[in-house]
Amino acid sequence: MNLLYKKLIPDMYANSIYDIDFENLKKRGITSLIFDIDNTLVPQKVLNPDRKVINLFKFLKSKGFKVCLISNNTTKRVNNFTKDTGVKGISWAIKPRKSAFYKALEMLDSTPDETAIIGDQIFTDILGGHRVGLFTILVRPLSSEEFGWTKIMRKLEKKVLKKV
């Protein structure tokens, strides 16, 4: 298996963010969590976090996790989530580029080996996370409504995931 292909394979899979065993992550030494927004926390067209997302973040913080958001979307989009959840966020991340992931680590005062990225796309969230040494968790996308480029990438994702 070549190196690039390995970087596309998540360390863990979950049906949704609510199916992740956060206690297991704690046992692995994970203390910081970076979440993608679109189709990970809410469907792409939902403008704000729902009560369930807000409560999950409150729960995670009560368990000692540090939480940050990272998105390729706009500052306005990310600010809707940071305002309602009380966590920091990064917009225009240009994932899988490394810089936004390093910025998130700095914001969280965390190291790669104690941080996980949770997202729905292997070519942005998983690849980007692996490029900086994060533990990667792939969740199923919440909606099939996506941007044109993402739809194209989903077809490639299916081919990669079939090989796993």
The pTM is what? Answer: 0.86
Q: How far is CA 46 from CA 1, 15, 39, 41, 54, in A?
A: 38, 19, 9, 10, 14
| Sequence spans of domains, the chain | 3-162
pLDDT in tens, 46-83: 889 999 999 999 999 999 999 999 999 999 999 999 99
Q: Between these two residues, 156 and 132, which has the higher pLDDT value?
A: 132
Flag whether pLDDT at 134 surpasses 90: yes
pLDDT in tens, 12-37: 999 999 999 999 999 999 999 999 99
Asked if 137 and 11 count as a contact pair (C-beta separation under 8 A), the reply is yes
**CATH architecture designation of domain 3-162:** 3-Layer(aba) Sandwich (3.40)
Flag whether pLDDT at 4 surpasses 70: no
Flag whether pLDDT at 151 surpasses 60: no
